[in-house]
């Protein structure tokens, strides 16, 4: 197969082709040290503070129209930006005038030390360009992933509100200066669309540190993916790197043998099937939320509001969150409660296999994936009429935090069937089948009796094995797990 040994993207309207060692480095480092675009700041280097925020739009990848969204550049690898249009803080204004957010930040005194300012400006520009109502809630929601140590946030919120007013005063003038209008002309769009049809194969026989072979593969078909993974079964699958980017920055893992899924078009699809919503491995959590809303699955959509920051959700994939197999991950309890399953490409046979999610997690950070296997899709049954779903997460802060204990419950409205799942109470995301059995209603029974509930809670305490860590003690997690489950069961509406 014909391949290319470079990745391409546009940066503030200029086409870039990147080769060699930069492929394996973070986007923020590339911007700052290779392109000298130092407006993009790096403070936390783990996607937590938003100072490194840039705008990104995939081009020719998936079926969605180009759409700029805010992402964290500190945990994104340069190789992943292939087929993208990128805009940094330097690209928002012009030589003649600042954009509405920059102007409003200045007039509202929204900046002090300045480290966080570029990230806030980029995030709020993304908010304005969505074309929706700008009120205080919208400003706060869109800047959830941005931290400021100086201003106390109020001047920043006021700047966002003022920027919304400036946009609405002359919407035509604003529309003519959006990032899509300025930085994604037809010629560049066609150039990127042409490039992403060809797979990427980059091999460095020796990196600058003399560590030996490095490679970056980006196949365009599942057939090519199966070939690469069979040849290199111990390679690292690269989805969005929102987890891998953190461990890379902290020096805990050297990302040297990478297989990226970003060029496989069918993995961007979300399709409704008789058995549920089939979600491809490249579907972001933001796209998944939009798909849930479209299908009227509002409770599932709202469960994602508690997941990370907007910048993370605009990059992170559902498949990555599942394959990460964290016992405190936010989506696995939701998916377990809904009875989801996953489609796995088996490297050894080249065949695809559906695996129920409650058989996927085998131990701490251990899954049913064998060397060379790839998680291709997740199939999620949607709540039907007469069914109920609720997700509850306990964490030290409401936004942008990992859970201490989480719980998801699916139930029929008549309580004749229930599925319960937890995060943070065992070495894996935990499906509480023994408790579900305890709560099975007998013939003629309309709801759970007090002895039945008491027995279920005893079973819960017998079954779970929470540990003590910085987020909570074993005892605290036991109290939380029981309290949250009681709360959700009590709130199931009667039929």
Q: 435-480, pLDDT tens digit by residue?
A: 999 998 988 888 899 999 999 999 999 999 999 999 999 999 999 9
What is the predicted pLDDT for the residue at 434? 96
- Residue 3's Cβ-count burial label (10 Å; 0-12, 13-18, 19+) is middle
Instruction: Answer whether residue 211 shows pLDDT above 80.
Output: no
Residue 24, CB half-sphere, CA atoms under 13 Å: how many?
Answer: 24
Higher pLDDT, 285 or 151: 285
What is the predicted pLDDT for the residue at 328? 94
Cβ atoms of residues 213 and 101 within 8 Å: no
- Taking only the tens place, the pLDDT of each residue in 41-64 is 999 999 999 999 999 999 988 877
| Tokens 């060692």, residue located | 21
- Taking only the tens place, the pLDDT of each residue in 92-114 is 998 888 999 999 999 999 999 99
Please name the fold of domain 100-176. DNA polymerase; domain 1 (1.10.150)
Q: How many CB atoms lie within 10 A of CB 394?
A: 20
- Tell me the two tokens of residue 411: 């139930």
Q: Which of 494, 315, 287, 263 is nearest to 388 (CA)?
A: 494
β-pairing, 341-345 vs 276-280, is: unpaired
- The full set of domain ranges for the chain reads 7-90+185-260, 100-176, 269-495
> Cα 85–166–104 angle (5° rounding)?
80
> What is the rounded average pLDDT of the residues 316-336?
96
DSSP per residue, 133-198: ---HHHHHHHTTT---SSS-SHHHHHHHHHHHHHHHHSHHHHHHTSHHHHH--HHHHHHHHHHTTS
Q: Taking each helix axis from N to C terminus, what angle separates 100-107 and 154-169, rounded to the nearest 10 degrees? A: 140
Instruction: Answer whether residue 327 shows pLDDT above 90.
Output: yes
Q: Taking each helix axis from N to C terminus, what angle separates 100-107 and 117-129, rounded to the nearest 10 degrees? A: 130
Mean pLDDT of the chain: 94
Report how far residue 71's alpha carbon sits from residue 227's, in angstroms, rounded to the nearest whole number: 31
Looking at the DSSP assignment, which residues form a beta bridge with residue 409?
390, 420
What is the predicted pLDDT for the residue at 495? 59
Percent pLDDT > 90 in the chain is 85
- Tell me the two tokens of residue 295: 């299908």
Say what the alpha-carbon torsion angle 240, 244, 250, 253 is, to the nearest 10 degrees: -140
* Burial call 254-268: b when 16+ CB within 10 Å, e when fewer: ebbebbbbbbbbebb
DSSP type of residue 38? T
Report how far residue 433's alpha carbon sits from residue 218's, in angstroms, rounded to the nearest whole number: 40
- Banded pLDDT at 253 (limits 50, 70, 90): confident
Superfamily of domain 7-90+185-260: Beta-grasp domain (3.10.20.30)
Higher pLDDT, 380 or 442: 380
What is the predicted pLDDT for the residue at 1? 65
- Taking only the tens place, the pLDDT of each residue in 386-430 is 899 999 999 988 878 889 999 999 999 888 899 999 999 999 999
- Taking only the tens place, the pLDDT of each residue in 289-300 is 999 999 999 999
13-22, 55-64, 270-279, 316-325 — which is least confidently predicted? Answer: 55-64
pTM of the model: 0.94
Does domain 269-495 correspond to CATH entry 3.40.50.300? no
- Banded pLDDT at 262 (limits 50, 70, 90): very high
209-213, 233-237, 276-280, 301-305 — which is least confidently predicted? Answer: 209-213
Q: Which residues does 296 contact at the CB level (< 8 Å), separation at least 6?
A: none
């Amino acid at each position: 197969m014909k391949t290319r040994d470079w990745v391409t993207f546009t940066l503030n309207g200029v086409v870039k082709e990147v080769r060699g060692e930069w492929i394996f480095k973070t986007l923020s480092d590339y911007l700052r040290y290779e392109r000298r675009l130092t407006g993009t700041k790096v403070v936390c280097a783990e996607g937590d503070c938003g100072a490194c925020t840039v705008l990104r739009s995939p081009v020719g990848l998936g079926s969605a129209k180009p759409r700029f969204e805010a992402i964290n550049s500190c945990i994104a690898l340069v190789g992943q930006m292939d087929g993208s249009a990128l805009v940094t803080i330097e690209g928002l204004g012009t030589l003649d005038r600042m954009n509405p957010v920059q102007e409003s930040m200045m007039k509202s005194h929204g900046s002090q030390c300045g480290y966080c300012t570029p990230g806030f400006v980029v995030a709020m520009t993304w908010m304005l360009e969505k074309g929706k109502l700008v009120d205080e809630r919208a400003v706060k929601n869109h800047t959830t992933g941005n931290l400021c140590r100086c201003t106390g946030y109020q001047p920043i919120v006021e700047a966002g509100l003022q920027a919304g007013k400036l946009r609405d005063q002359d919407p035509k003038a604003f529309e003519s200066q959006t990032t899509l209008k300025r930085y994604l002309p037809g010629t560049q769009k066609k150039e990127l669309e042409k490039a992403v049809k060809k797979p990427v194969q980059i091999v460095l026989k020796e990196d600058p540190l003399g560590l030996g072979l490095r490679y970056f593969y980006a196949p365009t078909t599942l057939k090519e993916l199966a070939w690469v993974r069979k040849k290199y079964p111990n390679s690292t699958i690269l989805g969005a790197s929102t987890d891998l980017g953190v461990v890379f920055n902290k020096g805990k893992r050297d990302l040297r043998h990478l297989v990226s899924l970003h060029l496989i078009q069918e993995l961007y699809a979300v399709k409704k099937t008789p058995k549920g919503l089939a979600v491809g491995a490249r579907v972001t959590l933001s796209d998944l939320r939009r798909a849930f809303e479209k299908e009227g699955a509002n409770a599932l959509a709202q469960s994602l509001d508690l997941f990370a920051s907007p910048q993370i959700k605009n990059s992170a994939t559902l498949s990555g969150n599942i394959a990460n197999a964290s016992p405190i991950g936010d989506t696995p309890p939701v998916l377990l409660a809904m009875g989801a399953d996953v489609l796995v490409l088996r490297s050894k046979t080249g065949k695809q296999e559906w695996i129920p999610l409650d058989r996927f997690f085998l131990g701490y950070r251990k899954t049913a994936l064998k060397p060379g296997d790839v998680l291709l899709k997740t199939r999620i049954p949607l709540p039907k009429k007469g069914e109920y779903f609720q997700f509850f997460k306990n964490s030290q802060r409401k936004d942008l935090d990992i859970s201490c204990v989480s719980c998801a419950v699916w139930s029929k409205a008549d309580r004749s069937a229930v599925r319960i799942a937890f995060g943070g109470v065992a070495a894996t995301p935990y499906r509480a089948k023994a408790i579900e059995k305890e709560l099975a209603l007998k013939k003629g029974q309309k709801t759970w009796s007090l002895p039945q509930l008491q027995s279920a809670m005893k079973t819960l305490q017998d079954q779970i094995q929470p540990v003590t860590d910085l987020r909570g003690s074993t005892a605290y997690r036991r109290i939380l797990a029981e309290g949250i489950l009681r709360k959700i069961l009590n709130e199931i509406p009667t039929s």
